[in-house]
Amino acid sequence: MKKLLLITCTLLFAFAALSAEEVSDELAEETQVQAAEENQKPFQNHLLTMAGFNALQTDEKDFVLSPSLNLQYMRFKNKGVESKQPDAIIIAGGYSLDHYTKGLGPDEVDNFHNINLMGNVAVGKNTFTGILAANGQVPFSSITTLTAGLMYSRQIVKTDNISFTAGAGIIVADLDLNINDVDIYCIPLPVFSFNYNNDYLSTGISMMGMPSLSLSLFPKSIVRFNGSCGLAGFSSVRDITFDCALVYYPLFYTNAKEFLSVSAGVMNTVNSSFLKDKTKYSFQYYSVYGEINASLVKLRAGYNFDGEKRINKDVKGEMYKGLFASVQAMFMF
């Protein structure tokens, strides 16, 4: 199922955008007292911008260079405001370019495009989400490169420590599914998310096309362990992606305790690019890395090892043991 990876990445993009709602909720709580003293506006509007650049070494003189830009517009109803308008509206869009310095395929195609669009509306305990994404040499040229979906979820449980949402959706894409010689381009999709938090453990599991799991030990201490895992496909055990890191907060005992963190970790990554003839080129690799996160700017660099190169589902050799680096910058208006 070539498109499952794209579907998962798209859904993760969409639901990752929802994390901006949590950020804005925290922002609303911090400014609630100040807003009460002034003329409190019924809604608050934010624009979140994020730019990034990744560089991955796939051969001795071959690299994948990936600039990206993401924008999110968020409109939230302030607490205590009575209005028939939605409690939250999020509109997000992102674009990234994967440039292969030596090209892929017989035509040595060097540029691949990734486009993601998402709209989210929350009314009470109900959330409606729509997504549209394209990935490949020529996005939107065929259903092979396209993914579209509609989802609905409802908050079932919400306490200080536990939250649970559940729902369903529908996905339209080229799924490589065939029943009685009939191609299937549309499937129902289960959606759920469960999170548990206390002073010693923060964990969550979600199902958005493919399952994913996150874990944080001692989430409020100066030293923490953060981990996450998911599925990028079903070709082999190497499609189980993960990212585990030991994180240190050097400013923990100051007023800016969460502003700066330093991490050392290990991860497994799968990158894929689609040619217009439906051929999928993939790189799977393990990495050790170091990271500096200053909230608005994040730098990560590491070393790749024990990787594979794939064409569709077939292994075509080992990936070069090389370097990677990334930088991300964000700002909220």
Residues 262-279 have a mean pLDDT of: 90
Mean pLDDT for the stretch of residues 95-121: 94
pLDDT at 175: 67
Assess contact for 175 and 188: CB atoms under 8 A.
no
Query: Using CA atoms, how far apart are residues 46 and 49, in angstroms rounded to an integer?
Result: 10
How many helices (DSSP H) and strands (DSSP E) are in the chain? Answer: 1, 17
Domain boundaries, given as residue ranges, for the chain? 3-332
Q: How far apart are CA 18 and CA 317, in angstroms?
A: 38
Phi, psi of 237 (to 5 degrees): -65, -20
Residue 230 has pLDDT above 60, yes or no: yes
Q: Please give the average per-residue pLDDT across 197-202, as a whole number.
A: 95
Task: With a cut of 80, say whether residue 1 has pLDDT above it.
Answer: no
Rg (CA), the chain: 21
Q: Please give the pLDDT value at position 209.
A: 67
Question: Which alpha helices (DSSP H) does 104-192 contain, by range?
Answer: none
Is pLDDT at 11 greater than 50 in this prediction? no
Buried b (16+ CB within 10 A) or exposed e, 140-167: eeeebbbbbbebebebeeeeeeebebbb
Range 6-21 average pLDDT: 43
Does CATH number 2.40.160 belong to domain 3-332?
Answer: yes
pLDDT of residue 186: 86
Q: How far is CA 18 from CA 3, 62, 91, in A?
A: 23, 36, 10
CB 118 within 8 A of CB 130: yes
Mean pLDDT score across all residues of the chain: 85
The pLDDT of residue 231 is 84
Range with the lowest mean pLDDT among 171-180, 203-212, 285-294? 171-180
pLDDT in the model for residue 163: 96
Q: How far apart are CA 77 and CA 120, in angstroms?
A: 14
- Cα 325 from Cα 243, distance rounded (Å): 15
Highest mean pLDDT of the ranges 22-31, 180-189, 207-216: 207-216
Q: Are strands 182-197 and 162-179 parallel, antiparallel or unpaired?
A: antiparallel
Pull the structure tokens for residue 210. 């493919």
Name the band, by pLDDT with cuts 50, 70 and 90, for residue 40: low
Q: How many residues in total does the chain contain?
A: 333
N- to C-terminal Cα separation, the chain: 40
3-state secondary structure of 185: strand
Under 8 Å between Cβ of 284 and 318: no
